[in-house]
């Protein structure tokens, strides 16, 4: 069976308010060799009826409960065997040439060893009853970067969108909008013990930082990632399940950020390091990492004690993460020095 070159995949969970604008930008793409797949995580806001009535050509896979961002995306990646997967949050609006330009890069021999491709994501708002797009000039993400304290941040976030105009290699992409090469996804998929199927995104993460985990694994397995500023899209961020949460984000958003987001962001940060970090690199930066972790710990201890249950979850999953980490390291093509070049 032949498939379109690209599957554009959207995971939905009560995000109907964003879908009209998102799908309109998808079907306005100048590149046409694609199919659209929606994985719905048990939405109760009319999403399925809307798709049935307004977009009958969209393939829909329905879950009866929220299985999380990671598992739902894995379901879709397994379902349709296109050579490329474009993961797209429901709160994204792409310029009409986004996919055409991304595929020109991906299909170029020069970038055959690149597993993921992304561009300049700019913040937007949806306003009024018609949810009209209000574009801003503030960057949402130009790819992922790891700091010495192991905080993972969106490159350029909060800065003026007139910057970051050079095409560069980056550590990885935010899965809010990223084109992945299936060959790379298959190469980086892992399976341990009695797991039924290989995982692309780590399903133990559920939501938050699973895209960072995949980016790290892709680097370990020898796949590169590129940022191209000509790939312009807009992100409302409100519906995202993959936002990178720093210590300052937690403090600034006290009372605003959901308990679920804080819990998974804190927990998954440790799982990420347990699986992917080289001991040599960790010890090299220990005195930068330790104070950062202590600040987060004491914040939760003093102001948000219930989220310290995340530490218990880390211990509970520790053995499983070690098995995954050992499997990854045994198949890694990258040395600690090669990974260390991304940490700054």
Mean pLDDT of the chain: 91
pLDDT (tens digit, 9 = 90+) per residue, 176-195?
Answer: 999 999 999 999 999 887 77
193 and 332 together in one domain: no
**pLDDT the model gives residue 269:** 95
CATH number for the domain spanning 74: value is: 3.90.550.10
| In-domain check, residue 241 | no
User: Model's pTM, two decimal places?
Assistant: 0.93
Which segment of 35-44, 46-55, 184-193, 299-308 scores lowest on mean pLDDT? 299-308
| In-domain check, residue 10 | yes
**pLDDT the model gives residue 131:** 73
Q: What is the DSSP letter of 40?
A: E
Report the share of the chain in percent with pLDDT over 70: 93
45 and 150 together in one domain: yes
pLDDT (tens digit, 9 = 90+) per residue, 146-173?
Answer: 999 999 999 999 999 999 999 999 999 9
What are the E-state strand segments in 186-321? 224-235
Task: Look at residues 235, 265, 299 and tell me which one is the last residue of a structural domain.
Answer: 235
Q: What is the DSSP letter of 319?
A: H
CB-based contact 161:139 (threshold 8 Å): yes
**pLDDT the model gives residue 270:** 94
CB-based contact 175:211 (threshold 8 Å): yes
Domain that holds residue 121: 6-235
């Amino acid at each position: 069976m032949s498939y379109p070159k690209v599957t554009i995949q959207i995971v939905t969970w009560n995000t109907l308010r964003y879908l009209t604008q998102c799908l309109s930008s998808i079907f306005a793409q100048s590149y046409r060799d694609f199919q659209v797949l929606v994985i719905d995580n048990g939405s109760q806001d009319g999403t399925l009826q809307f798709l049935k009535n307004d977009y009958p050509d969209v393939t829909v896979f329905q879950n009866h409960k929220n299985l999380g961002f990671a598992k739902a995306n894995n379901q879709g990646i397994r379902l349709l065997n296109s050579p490329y997967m474009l993961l797209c949050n429901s709160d994204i609006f792409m310029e009409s040439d986004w996919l055409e330009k991304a595929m020109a890069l991906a299909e170029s021999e020069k970038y055959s060893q690149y597993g993921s491709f992304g561009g300049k994501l700019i913040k937007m708002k949806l306003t009024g009853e018609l949810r009209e797009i209000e574009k801003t000039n503030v960057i949402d993400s130009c790819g992922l970067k790891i700091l010495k304290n192991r905080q993972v941040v969106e490159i350029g976030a909060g800065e003026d969108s007139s910057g970051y105009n050079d095409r560069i290699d980056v550590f990885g992409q935010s899965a809010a909008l990223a084109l992945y090469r299936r060959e790379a996804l298959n190469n980086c998929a892992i399976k341990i013990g009695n797991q039924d199927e290989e995982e692309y995104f780590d399903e133990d993460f559920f939501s938050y930082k699973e895209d960072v985990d995949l980016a790290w694994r892709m680097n370990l397995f020898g796949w590169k990632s590129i940022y191209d500023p000509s790939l312009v899209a807009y992100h409302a961020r409100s519906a995202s399940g993959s936002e990178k949460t720093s210590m300052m984000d937690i403090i600034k958003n006290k009372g605003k950020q959901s308990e679920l987001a804080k819990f998974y962001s804190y927990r998954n940060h440790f799982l990420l390091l347990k699986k992917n970090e080289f001991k040599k690199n960790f010890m090299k930066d220990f005195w930068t990492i330790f104070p950062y972790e202590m600040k987060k710990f004491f914040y939760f201890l003093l102001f948000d004690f219930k989220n310290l249950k995340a530490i218990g979850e880390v211990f509970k999953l520790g053995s499983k993460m070690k098995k995954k980490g050992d499997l990854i390291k045994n198949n890694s093509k990258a040395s600690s020095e090669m990974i260390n070049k991304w940490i700054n």
